């Protein structure tokens, strides 16, 4: 998935990623009600959707485009804690009342985002207990994943983390090309560094090493995975 497909879709029925979005499954039972408490917004590339610490107004779903989530440390340093793709829930906090955003959301490309009224959505979930359980599992899984990665990341080598990151981006945003798997997402070297908790200079050096070993090819911010199986071996301890 990716690109600009579906940016201008005006209804949920026309949305190309609706079937893949667990959050949007509530529309299947009562589409007219769902439409009444849903608001659509178009964001330009590198535009802030919401800020960390500001009140959370509802449930945010990325319908088209891509966005990054950043969080600040106690020392004021910012780090990317996640990348969101089409059809994905941006933040779990939206299901709770009177809470603040734990992250800042910034678009990476032209994006369409739906803000869903919390109370209205929860009322729909009461009519669909099975969907409510699936959403609970989704939220719990994301919290567990973040906790596990936060605990083990410091003990993994930077090369392993970079290889694992490239493979993950390839699985989520990759498209087959004549050379291999081209990442359909543009991230700066600084953003790649933030994602694995390393210095930009280290990422630049490791990408150069990967290029010399013909594991990847780079063209500006475009990255193509030439030998995913080799990267998988490097990331094997993660």
Read off the pLDDT of residues 167-225 as tens digits, 9 standing for 90 and up: 999 999 999 988 899 999 999 999 999 999 889 999 999 999 999 999 999 999 999 99
The 10s digit of each residue's pLDDT in 106-124 is 999 999 999 999 988 888 8
The per-residue pLDDT of the chain, averaged, comes to 83
Hey, which bits of 44-201 come out as E strands?
Answer: 48-50, 59-64, 67-72, 78-84, 88-89, 104-107, 111-116, 174-176, 181-183
Residues 6+ apart with CB under 8 A from 140: none
d(CA 227, CA 215): 5
Sign of the Cα torsion 138, 140, 145, 146 reads positive
DSSP three-state, residue 238: coil
- Are the beta carbons of 55 and 100 closer than 8 angstroms? yes
Q: Does domain 12-153 have CATH number 2.60.120.10?
A: yes
- Domain parsing of the chain, residue ranges: 12-153, 156-234
- Are the beta carbons of 185 and 2 closer than 8 angstroms? yes
Q: Does domain 156-234 have CATH number 1.10.3720.10?
A: no
């Amino acid at each position: 998935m990716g690109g600009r497909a579906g940016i201008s879709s005006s209804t949920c029925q026309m949305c190309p990623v609706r079937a893949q979005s667990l959050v949007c499954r509530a529309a299947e039972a009562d589409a007219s009600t769902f439409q009444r408490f849903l608001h659509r917004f178009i964001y330009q590339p590198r535009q802030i959707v919401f800020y960390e610490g500001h009140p959370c107004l509802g449930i945010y779903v990325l319908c088209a485009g891509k966005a990054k989530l950043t969080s600040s440390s106690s020392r004021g340093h910012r780090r990317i804690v996640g990348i969101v793709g089409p059809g994905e829930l941006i933040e779990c906090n939206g299901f709770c009342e009177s809470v603040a955003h734990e992250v800042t959301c910034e678009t990476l490309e032209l994006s369409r985002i739906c803000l869903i009224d919390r109370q209205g959505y929860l009322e729909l979930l009461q009519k669909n207990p099975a969907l409510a359980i699936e959403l609970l599992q989704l939220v719990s899984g994301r919290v567990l994943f973040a906790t596990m990665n936060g605990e083990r990341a410091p003990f993994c080598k930077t090369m392993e983390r970079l290889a694992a990151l490239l493979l993950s981006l390839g699985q989520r945003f990759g498209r087959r090309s004549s050379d291999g798997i081209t990442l359909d997402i543009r991230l700066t070297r600084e953003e790649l560094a933030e994602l694995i908790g390393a210095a930009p200079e280290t990422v630049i050096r490791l990408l150069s090493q990967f290029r010399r070993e013909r594991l990847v090819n780079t063209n500006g911010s475009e990255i193509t995975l030439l030998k995913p199986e080799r990267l998988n071996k490097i990331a094997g301890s993660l």
